[in-house]
Amino acid sequence: MDSKCRDNDISRKLVISKEDMAKSMSGCTDTLFKGWRYDFFGKSIKSFINNDSQFKISITKSSDNMMHLKSEESVL
The predicted-structure confidence for 7-64, as pLDDT tens digits, reads as follows 889 898 888 888 887 787 777 767 778 899 888 888 877 777 777 666 677 788 888 9
Phi then psi for 10, rounded to 5 degrees? -135, 140
Instruction: Determine the Cα–Cα distance for residues 24 and 47; give it in Å rounded to an integer.
Output: 14
Q: Which helix (H) or strand (E) element contains residue 72?
A: strand 67-75
Question: Do 2 and 14 touch, CB atoms closer than 8 A?
Answer: no
**Closest-CA residue to 40 (of 73, 64, 76):** 73
Is pTM beyond 0.75 here? no
